[in-house]
Amino acid sequence: MRNSNNISTINGVEFNPTEPKLSDILIEDIAHALSYLCRANGHFKSFYSIAQHSVNCCLEAKLRGYSARVQLACLLHDASEAYMSDITRPVKRQLKDYCVFEERLQDLIFEKFGIGDLTPEEKEQVKSVDDCMLYHEFIRLNGAALFEAPPRMVIDLDVSEYPFSHFENEFIRLFSDCRKSL
């Protein structure tokens, strides 16, 4: 009988998001789930997945000349959402317990994949890339400017719709490339 505190992942893992185990975290589960979750709670003009956002963050970090560790962190920065879903920033700020669980899970994911010791500078680089993507995604897909000054973006942001499997596979490919470069 299934534990009611667990979710069943696409690969059959019984995963407890509030008491995660390192051994239960699979990159394939993360890539699959994020490719099916829409950014911005679906408030975009077209489907744009968290996996596509994460891939674009990784590519932006690479073109900025950031280290493989930062590229990997950019790819995985929303990985906890594969197990806990995406909650918008305004709501998330009000859910203190959720934030504790999310941070614990995100830290465990980073540890699992060898980047649990990011420096403050590396964390700032990840945040900079994430905020840059957030701004440009909202301009392109919602028409809303979230900040007064647009952050400089290096990549040519592709917000086209693709089959879910496209970004699931691209996520796995970039993950492998980054891990080889660590």
Whole-number Å distance between alpha carbons of 114 and 23: 14
pTM above threshold 0.85? yes
The CATH superfamily of 7-156+165-181 is Hypothetical protein af1432 (1.10.3210.10)
Domain ranges for the chain: 7-156+165-181
Helix (H, G, I), strand (E, B) or coil at 52: helix
- Residue 21: partners with Cβ closer than 8 Å, 6 or more residues away: none
pLDDT on residue 42: 93
pLDDT on residue 1: 59
Name the H helices within 20-146.
27-36, 50-63, 68-76, 81-84, 89-92, 96-112, 120-142
Whole-number Å distance between alpha carbons of 178 and 160: 24
Whole-number Å distance between alpha carbons of 47 and 49: 6
Helix (H, G, I), strand (E, B) or coil at 177: helix
Residue 10 per-residue DSSP state = T
| Residue pLDDT tens, the chain, 182 long | 578 899 999 999 999 999 999 999 999 999 999 999 999 999 999 999 999 999 999 999 999 999 999 999 999 999 999 999 988 889 988 998 999 999 999 999 999 999 999 999 999 999 999 999 999 999 999 999 999 999 999 999 999 999 999 999 999 999 999 999 99
